[in-house]
Each structure stands twice: as C-alpha cells, then as structure tokens.
Amino acid sequence: MLTFWLEASNVSRHQFIQEFGLSPLVYVPRLPSALQPIFSILYVLIFILALAGNTAVLFLLCRRKALQAPSTFFVCSLALSDLLISIFCVPATLLQHFFTNWLAGEFLCKLVAFLQVTAISASIFTMICIAAERFQGILYPLQLQNGYFPSHAIKMLAAVWLAALVIACPMWYAHKVEELAWYSYRYMVIFLQVKYDFLFDVHYTCCQEIWPHTWQRQAYTTFLLLLVFLVPMVTMSVLYGKIMRELWGKHRVHDVMFQTLPGSEINKITRKKRRAVKMMATVVLLFAVCWAPFHLVSVLSDYGKLSLDPDQEFLVFTAVQILGFGNSICNPVVYAVLNKNFKKGLLAIFLQRGRPRWLAGRLGGRARVGVSAIDSLHLRDRSEQSLLGDGAHQWSRVAWESELHTLNPFPQVHLFQGISKKHSSPLLLSVTDPLHVSTSSS
C-alpha cells in the first residue's frame, strides 16, 4: 500500500521519511558510536587472550603424564569452560552487539546461549569439587580412605557437566512470543525472530530470549542466580574459610603426618599448601567479581527494577557481559602469577619448540609444573620413613606435573615408588592441596 502510494505520488521513500520526520517502526538498540571501538577492542582482546591462555593450560596438562593427578582433570574442566565462552560466546555476542541483524542462523542462535549457561554452570560446579577435595584432604586426611583418584575425578566431572547441560536446557527450548520485548532483553539468545519495518522496508532478524510468560523468565533467572551463583559462592566461602583457619592456625591436623620431620620441612610443606589454597581462592574470588554484576543486572531487568531506556540498558548489559567474559582470561593469569612452576613449564615448552632437541636436553632435565612437590632428597627420605609406619603406598602425581622428555639420563624417582600397594593407603598430591595423607582403618 505504501509503495503504491509513493509511486503514484512520484515521491521516494527517503523523501517521504525526511519530509515527515518519521522514526523506524522497529527500534533496535545500539551502542554509542564513541564506545563501539572500545568495546570492539575489548571483545577481540578477550577472545585472543582467553583462547591462547586456556589452550596453553590444556596443552601443558594433557601433553605429558600430568593426567595421572585427579586435580588436573578439575583444572582442565575450568579451562574447557573458558574455551567454550571464548570460542562461541564472545564472537557471537560481538556480532550481535555491532550489527542490527543476527547473521549466524537459528541453530547458532540457540547454541550460543545454551553453551554460555553450560560453561558458567560447569565452572562454578568444578570449583565446588576442588573446594570439597581440599576441605577433605586438609581437615580430614585420616578419614579419606581412598582419596581422589583419576576415576573419581572423571565421575565427579561427568556429573558436573551433566548437571550443567540440564540447567542450560531451558535456554534452548524457550518458546516464542509475538511481540519483541526490548525492555527485558538480556542477551541470552534463545529464539530467532524476524521483524519487518514496512516504512523503512527493512527486515530485522533478532536473536533473543523469549518466554511465554514473564513469571517463567523471572523464575529461571532467579533459579540461575541461586543455583549457579549464590549457593555455590556461600558453600565455597565456608569451605575455604575453614581450610584457611586450619592452615593458618597454630595446631594443624595434617602436621601429625610429618611429626618425625624437621620443623623447617613441615613449614615448607605448609607454605606450599597455603600458596595452593590462595591460588584457588583467588580463582573463586575473580569469578564472583566478574559474574556478580551480570546476575544482578539480569535480575533487576527481569523484575522491572532497571529503569533505563533501551539504549542505556543495552549499554549496561554489554558492559557487564564483557566483564563476565573477561573471567575467561583470569585463570591462566592467576596460574602464571601465583605459580612460578607453571611459568617454568610454559617457558620449557617454548624453549623446546624454539631450539634443537639436542640443545633443549642440555637446558635442563625436566620442569615440574605443579603447585608443589617433594623436591628435596632429604625430605623424600625422611617422609618415607615417617609414613611407612602408617602404611602409605600410592602416590598420585601433582597436578601440572609435566615431565618433559629430554636427554636427561637420570629418571625421576617418585616417593613411595617401591612400597607395596597391597598393604597401604594413599598419599595424594594435587593442585590445590600439595600434600595430604590418609591411612587405612586397619
């Protein structure tokens, strides 16, 4: 009808719109032009750094024998979650924020939101597993009969990822409503919807979370806030609080395991435990700082408490989502800053790749990429003597312990390597609890 009238009047569509000062019938929020370059740079930096950092973590952990340590699987799970965010969510969100149309199709529209919730849920649940392992290993070492072996870690992570997938399912199957409700747009993409502006003759393809009823959206947002943020954070705060009180207290339970060792050696082991706990507590704290604003803004928006116009709300959501995505680069940075052995492991890899093999072998026999290990021969001997009476037998590798294959003719001798496995109980070394012991009830 409009096209026919314009042709009959010999007036172009542009002239008609300019003459009457008409606005688009379908309003699409946009970022301020002055901020678009800044946000673009941030997205690109997050993508590159998160991809490089977490790939390096996985490469360092998986390429050697470090997978014999249960805690390695937990760290790999965190890195995998961050990789999902950086590979799928960051590029898709960047395109969505800087183009008026969704260009990736309906399948990716659903997949991006599904993977974002899955990755966030898997990260927080994995951190709970790490905190629980540390809590048991440090406060109740004598009650830990079988310890955390790779099979246990794999089962725990299978449950973690299954739970994360179930929690994310509503993001895939949410239903469509007729009107495009920009005021509640949360950028958690669910449904592909096409809007046609007949005045400007433009089709808008929007990737958006659509719910049949407002209360359903509010219920799911509240569910995510509680189950994927608040409850895990409170739980980990309690666990790490008790762990720190044990490690920094005057009477430590785990010291009895090394009562025959010199005080300096016990203090050395304790310091390594403290560094490990500090590192994982920092990981949890950064996760909370990065994702708390996103959860807060989502809840305020869905309950109608965010009194902003569409452009302002779009800007706020973009800012808090960039902050959340930024958490994907935090873990590798924390490992590198707080764990000097992790930095040494990365350096050793680069040296091996950049130098001839014969020269790499001369640069050093091995690199231990771990939070801690018993490096002193004297300490190994004394530890062996003090633990034989308790029947300790099996040694799980420290997470991130990566034996680099070089020309060193002297292989590493592991603690308790020759002790019978038939009449003993485990000694565990792990990324977050360098050393704890459990004895059999017999």
- DSSP symbols for 109-144: HHHHHHHHHHHHHHHHHHHHHHHHHHHHHHH-GGG-
For the chain, residues with pLDDT lower than 50 are: 175-194, 196-198, 200, 358-442
**Statement to judge: residues 349 and 430 lie in one domain:** yes
How many residues does this entry show for the chain?
442
Same domain, 275 and 353: no
* Cα 24 to Cα 39: distance, rounded to the nearest angstrom: 25
Which of 302, 327, 352 is at the close of a domain? 327
With respect to residue 43, please indicate whether it lies within any of the assigned structural domains: yes
Same domain, 150 and 89: yes
Give the pLDDT confidence score for residue 184 in this predicted structure: 36
Q: Has residue 335 been placed in a domain? A: no
Task: Provide the token pair at 221.
Answer: 């947002």
For residues 301 and 420, membership in a common domain is answered with no
Are 385 and 427 found together in one domain?
Answer: yes
Specify the pLDDT at position 169.
92
Strands (E), 341-432: 392-396, 425-428
pLDDT of residue 66: 57
Residues 6 or more apart in contact with residue 261 via CB below 8 angstroms: 379, 382, 383, 386
Residues 173 and 40 in one domain: yes
Write b or e for each residue in 71-108: b if 16 or more Cβ atoms lie within 10 A of its Cβ, otherwise e: bbbbbbbbbbbbbbbbbbbbebbbbbbeeeebebeeeb
- Give the pLDDT of residue 256: 53
Q: What's the pLDDT score for residue 131? A: 92
Residue that finishes a domain, picked among 327, 350, 370: 327
Rounded distance between C-alpha atoms, residue 31 and residue 198, angstroms:
24
Together in a domain, 147 and 239: yes
Q: Domain boundary residue among 327, 355, 373? A: 327
Q: Which CATH number covers residue 305?
A: 1.20.1070.10
311 and 420 together in one domain: no
In a domain, 279, yes or no: yes
Residue 190 to residue 168: CA distance in whole angstroms: 11
| Other C-beta atoms lying within 10 Å of the C-beta of residue 229 | 20
- The residue written with tokens 């048991």 in the block is 136
**Residue 442 domain-assigned (yes or no):** no
- Does 333 fall in a domain? no
| Number of domains into which the chain is organized | 2
Q: Domain residues for 90?
A: 2-327
* 157 and 215 both lie in a single domain: yes
- pLDDT tens for residues 149-193? 778 889 999 999 999 999 999 988 763 433 343 333 333 333 344
